[in-house]
Structure 1
Amino acid sequence: MNVLQTLIFSVLTALLDAQTVYYTTALEGGDTKIHCLTSEANERKFFCREDCKQNDTLVETLGVSAQSDRYSIEWERRGQSSVGDVFIKISQLKKSDSGQYTCGVGPLTSATYDYNEIVVVDAELSGGKRETPTISAKSGGDVRISCPFSSSFHQLRISAFLCRVETLQCLFVPTKVTGNTRQHDRYTIRYVQYTSGSGFVYVSISQLKKSDSGRYRCGLERQGLSDIWSVFDVDVSDEPTVETQTSAPENSKPGTTPSKPAAPPKTTLRSTTDTLLYVGLTLVVLLGLFLLVLLIFYKRKSSKPKERQENLQQAPEETSKRPKGIQTATKPNKTLNAQSKVHLNN
């Protein structure tokens, strides 16, 4: 059983080693061109996001060129031979384009693959200490910087770092494994080393605040040697508010376009909706009061005939009671007459 596990581990390790990943660093908003593989002119060429296993093909062709949205394939012949180089081009890069890609040549059952990772950054530093670029960003956004380093003394590297100069707070990541990444709070640092020994330290700050403005340093810590680093400044500004745009003067300069023209109509729409709500509620209340008045008026009007009918029914009863009262009143008279007769006889 141990022999089988060792064999499986060896096979997996060999497969992972065979899948060499080529890194490409590009600026946001720009274009990038990646050398993929070599092929014949009429061979199938394709480019996918991730591993081409979930119908995520971005562009493909059997010819020498093809384009789909921002992605294109170009085949360039090598001299007079029938073989040429396959290039992939992505235009108008976004930060969301960062990630793993696969370039392939040939049919799906027996295709040859090339693995790439694209990292889209806001700024790519040159590595010189004298140059201090400033990266401007909006509050709530993020910045991503690439700090290059050469292949010299790569055996003596200990860790890559990102430091805030004003506070002397640093984030470190070991350099033993390429692609090693560490994240702390809103700060991320990643170490990538090419087979030649050169590479990049990628640093990023997310959910930017106004207090993040300042000077930063990214580089490598080396054993027995001085550190190497690059310096950059971050300038975080607040987003313009809707009220500021709404209060802009009407006589603005020709050719000036507001940054968010759709904001004022949204505010107007919200105010109109509230007004219609209040008017509707008022009409409902008035309609209810009107119906209540009609109901009271109807009840009062319908009760008057009943009162007249009751008065007519009570009138005969009072008339019939009057003779009975008279008859009872005459009884004492008869008694008195009888008594008077007896008294006279005596």
Structure 2
Amino acid sequence: DLSLLVLRIALRCVTCEAGVIHVTGYVGREVNVSCSYDEGYESYEKYLCKNDCGDSDLLITTSNSSKNKYSIHDNKTSRIFTTTISDLHSVDAGKYWCGVTRTGKDIYTEVDCCDTVTKVQSYEGYSESVSCPYESQNSLKYICRGNRPSTCLQQALITSDTKQNGRFRLDDDKMSGTFTVTINSLTRNDSGSYLCGVQRNSELDVFSAVELEVEGKKNHSNSSLHQHQEDIICCQILMVSFTVMYTWTCLHSNIDANIDANEVQPLCILCIFRSR
């Protein structure tokens, strides 16, 4: 009703009954946001909303348990309702609210979701590129080490203003809405957590997380040995095939009909010996 809508729009003035829930997920996968509630609210409607929780920010409710990329389930025995967000992207990151509808003020729990993590693996001495999608076209883009958004811009390794900084290069493809950071001459010390950041002047910056794992130099000798072994096996197969064909030719050639079997046998053995 109208009073519920007004209450949701004025959510900034509502005090949450629980602490902030932090949720992290992986790009392209799904994440679960679980929120508990007190005894006595089992039959009440629950929902998940975003930002200020206005009418357009309402994502899913228990009265309509599946909508777009969202689904919700209320476990009334454990008094926990869980919202699943599928196909995560960096644009899904932000402030969410778990809500329990009741007469008067709804009960809200703040959720910090969904910092997405992209896993990247590479080797020492190689170059590796990290792609970071965004929505705000003219905003500053940057990347930093660690997982602290509050200090990321100050500790940025490179920004879209500098483009190149030592081993780091940033390319911004505004057509696809993706900026790419390339790290050259990788070392094991480059392994760790990174944050891709997009600056938003009037709101909090948007981040997507990257986990980089740099392994030791690729061992080419093992692959060469494996290839050599395969070559030997291939040659042996060819030799056996050639021997069989050569023997068959000897036995079915236009040999003088007067030659008896005792004369043919040494000839065929000679063919086999010569084929090896």
TM range (shorter): 0.3 to 0.5
TM-score normalised by length of structure 1 = 0.35
Q: More relative contact order in 1 or in 2 (CA 8 Å, sep 6+)?
A: 2
TM-score normalised by length of structure 2 = 0.43
